[in-house]
Amino acid sequence: MKKHAILFSLLLICGTATFAQCGKKLLLNSVKTEYLDSTNTLQRSVDENTSIEISDSEITIKPADNTITGAVKSQTCSWSVPYKEGKSVIKTLLKTQNDERSATLTIEGKNGVVTMLVEMAEDPNKKIRVTLTRFEEFPG
**Domains defined along the chain, listed by start:** 2-138 (2.40.128)
pLDDT at res. 15: 37
Could you give the CA distance from residue 15 to residue 111 in angstroms, rounded to a whole number?
21
Residues 92 and 105: beta-carbon distance below 8 Å: yes
pLDDT at res. 137: 84
pLDDT at res. 21: 59
pTM for the model stands at: 0.81
Could you give the CA distance from residue 34 to residue 21 in angstroms, rounded to a whole number?
25
CA atoms within 13 A on the CB side of 35: 9
Between the alpha carbon of residue 133 and those of residues 3, 6, 7, 15, 51, the distances in Å are 42, 38, 37, 26, 10
Who contacts 84 (Cβ-Cβ below 8 Å, separation ≥6)?
109, 112, 114
pLDDT at res. 83: 79
CA atoms within 13 A on the CB side of 60: 11
For residue 2, give the H/E element and its range.
Answer: helix 2-18
pLDDT at res. 20: 47
Residues 37 and 126: beta-carbon distance below 8 Å: yes
pLDDT at res. 99: 87
pLDDT at res. 48: 94
The string of DSSP letters for 63-109 reads ETT--EEEEEEEEEEEEEETTTEEEEEEEEEEE-SS-EEEEEEEEEE
Residues of the chain with pLDDT under 70: 1-22, 140
